[in-house]
Every structure is written in C-alpha cells, then in structure tokens.
Amino acid sequence: MNRRYRKTIIAGNWKMNKTASETRALIEELKPLLAKAKWCDVVLCVPFVDISAAIKAAKGSKIAIGAQNMHFEKSGAFTGEVSADMLTDLGVKYAIIGHSERRQYFNETDETVNKKVIKALEAGLRPIVCVGESIEQRDQGVTMDNIRMQVKIALKGVAAKELKKVVFAYEPIWAIGTGRTATSSQANEVCEGVRTCLRELYGARAARSVTIQYGGSMNAKNAAELLAQTDIDGGLIGGASLKAADFTQIVEAANQ
Ligand code: 13P
C-alpha cells in the first residue's frame, strides 16, 4: 500500500453465490463491522440479480456495490446481457472486467476486455480489470510478458485523465480458489510490473495514482503481509468475502 498516492480498495467478488435474501443478511452483518474502515474503500461485487438488494442494504454505509461483468454495447439485441447504463442507473459504482473465469468459461478476450473498459468509463463505472498468468506461463517464465500484453490491450484508447478511475487486479490463475496464494514478493513483483507498464504508457505521476489489487486465495491470515507490500493497494477477494468475519479481518488489515 502507499496511501500517499492512491486509495486502498478491498473488494469482494461473490462470484455465483448468495440469493437476494442472503445478500441482505450478509450486508446487514457487515455494516457495523466495517464502520471503522477509514483508510480503505470497500466494494462488494455481487451477482446482477442481487444488486438492488445490495444497494438498498448498503445505504448509509461505506460499502459500494459493484457488478462482476457487463456488456460493451450500450443497448440492443444481446439476450441475457446487462449494459453499463443499467448498472449505473441502479447505483453501481464498479464493474469487474475480464476475470479469468470469464476469460476461461465465457470466451472473453483482451479485445472484449478493452471494449468493456472503454464503455465502463464512458458510463461512469470504475472498471476493476483482472490480469493474471496461468501456471504454464509462470513455469515458462513469460508471466510479465503476458501481463503486459493484457494491460496494454485493456487500456487501448483510454485517455490519461481516465486512468486513475481504472483499478487493476493481479490474479494469478493458479492462486484462484486453490488455497495456494502467491508469496507476497511474487505478488508484489507483478503488481510493480503492472505499474512499470502504466508508467511507460502514461508517465510516472499517472502510474503512481493507480490502485493495483492482488487476488487469489487472499484471506484473513495472509492479507496483512500482502497489503504491506509497496505496490499491492488492496485485494479482490473471492471465498473469504462470503464470510463476514473473514472479510472484516481483511478490511482491518488494510486499515493498519
Ligand atoms: P479466491 O479468493 O476464492 O481465491 O478468488 C479470488 C478471485 O478470483 C477474486 O476475483
């Protein structure tokens, strides 16, 4: 973390978990627990159908609500899809873009990620852009090549003044849902690499104000060490965001 230059953001990615009533219950449980979280922003990225319930339940608290995906077109014949304007109209502030599960199971590419980033920014949503390498890429020593490509394509056509609204999440695919977290130095090395790439594209001032999260089996036990690294400015948390006590401990670690 480096609070002088950028905001720490702890975001939960609930994935395909929780009904609307479970959403209300979890947020009601979290609200008093998170009331003291002064130094970081807290976001919950919930399933589309839970968004209204989440926004209502989070009212008056510091929890912002995010989506887990969105379509890149404004409107039209795209059965089953949800547009950025539909999300902002409900009060959604963030949208996860290009999560590895979407890339893997729903054919998302760097190009669709780019289109979604552009549309999210146009609509006033802050994109949380996920990048990360497979275990094969890590073993072959091409982690940073892959990440740099993902970052560069995601940002094609994004103006410098828009950059600070973009959040990056470095999520090594091999660490997601596996209980196998990247070591804090592995994670920091890649987050630093993302920032170097941003510096090359937009200059040092712009690069240092971008929030770069780590995601992949982050939990109540390892959060403090990960967040203490120079270039890890928060977390994108899956499993541990579904339990109030665990998620609260991560938020507390970000407030140290
Ligand atoms: P886990 O925290 O369950 O490993 O999930 C990480 C993730 O994919 C967050 O987007």
- Predicted confidence at residue 1, as pLDDT, reads 85
CA of 241 to the centre of ligand 1 (A): 9
CA of 129 to the centre of ligand 1 (A): 14
Beta carbons within 10 angstroms of residue 47's beta carbon: 18
d(CA 56, CA 92): 11
Using 50, 70 and 90 to split pLDDT, how confident is the model at 35? confident
What structural domains does the chain harbor?
8-254 (3.20.20.70)
The response to whether residue 252 sits with its C-beta less than 6 Å from ligand 1 reads no
pLDDT digits over 160-208, tens only? 999 999 999 999 999 998 988 889 999 999 999 999 999 999 999 999 9
Which residues, at least 6 apart from 47, have a Cβ–Cβ distance to it below 8 Å? 14, 16, 17, 18, 68
The response to whether residue 236 sits with its C-beta less than 6 Å from ligand 1 reads yes
Asked if residue 234 has pLDDT above 90, the reply is yes
Is 99 annotated in the active site? Answer: yes
The response to whether residue 98 sits with its C-beta less than 6 Å from ligand 1 reads no
- Predicted confidence at residue 36, as pLDDT, reads 80
pLDDT digits over 69-108, tens only? 999 999 999 999 999 999 999 999 999 999 999 999 999 9
Nearest ligand 1 atom to the CA of 217 is: 4
Distance, CA of 180 to chain centre: 19
Percent of the chain with pLDDT over 70: 100
pTM to 2 decimal places: 0.98
- Predicted confidence at residue 21, as pLDDT, reads 98
Asked if residue 38 has pLDDT above 90, the reply is no
CA of 194 to the centre of ligand 1 (A): 19
Q: What is the mean pLDDT of the chain?
A: 97
Question: 10, 130, 236: which to mutate for ligand 1, most atoms within 8 A of CB?
Answer: 236
Catalytic residue among 99, 101, 133, 252: 99
Residues 191, 235 contacting (CB under 8 angstroms): no
Is 71 annotated in the active site? Answer: no
Asked if residue 66 has pLDDT above 90, the reply is yes
Which sign, positive or negative, has the C-alpha torsion 151, 157, 161, 167?
Answer: negative
Q: Write out the two tokens for 48.
A: 């589309």
Mean pLDDT value of segment 126-145: 97
